[in-house]
Structure 1
Amino acid sequence: MRVIVAGKVYVDPEVRERAVAAHRVIVERAREYPGCLDVSISADSVEPGRVNLFEYWESHEALDAWRAIAPAATEHFELKDVQVLKHEVSGTRGPFD
């Protein structure tokens, strides 16, 4: 079953760009990892301290295998709030179907 991990975290607005950049190596390596369909860690276009997270995996096993070897961020930041959930995908279709 495919899995999506998605949500948002908040950091101080003045460190947000550094926080996103500190996770670039994770995004680059995850996208090359078997079973990864997509990963994105990006600055929100509206809220100054918000970072959006999105991961799309072929299976729980692929996600778990990645998490077992995933590199750490190059820098760590205090998280003000974390709102991230894991979703199991029961079906997929086009956005206008």
Structure 2
Amino acid sequence: MHGSLVIIARARAKEGFEEQMINAQKALVSVTREEPGCLSYELFVSNQEPGLVTFFERWESVQAWHKHMQGEAVSTFRNTAGHCIQEFELDEMHQVA
């Protein structure tokens, strides 16, 4: 899996929008796992801060991830819950060991 792309994405919900954001992200996970090139797509919620989530993603290639980011599932998420996000950070990585 050294050639695969790993994405770590963190999102913090706006106060009062935690449940809406996480529910929309859960729906995104179930659809994304079926996309070509998706090796792993997992969502974690912080035990200390319920409105803070982390995605751990592994993709066959950068191209597969770009297709996902431009696809219908991400577009639907942005339209239905993009307004719920207060902060967002994303790291693109590759495995070295």
TM-score class, shorter = 0.7 to 0.9
Partner of 1:81: 87
**Pairing partner for 1:8 from 4, 7, 10:** 10
Taking every aligned residue pair, what percent have the same amino acid on both sides? 22
Q: By how many angstroms is 1:78 displaced?
A: 4.0
Asked if structure 1 preserves the Cα contact closer than 8 Å seen for 2:17 and 2:84, the reply is: no
Relative to the length of structure 2, the TM-score reads 0.75
Partner of 1:94: none
Distance in 1 of aligned mates of 2:18 and 2:58: 23
List per-residue Cα deviations over 1:62-89 (Å, max 9, x = no partner): 1122223232213333432223211122
The size of the alignment, in residue pairs, is 91
CA 69–81 in structure 1, closer or farther in 2 if over 3 Å, else same: closer
Relative to the length of structure 1, the TM-score reads 0.75
Partner of 2:32: 30
Structure of greater Rg: 1
Q: Which of 76-85 and 21-30 deviates more?
A: 76-85
Structure 1: gaps (5+ residues): 92-97
Structure 2: gaps (5+ residues): none
**Considering only aligned residues, what root-mean-square deviation do their CA atoms show, in Å?**
2.0
Asked if structure 2 preserves the Cα contact closer than 8 Å seen for 1:20 and 1:42, the reply is: no
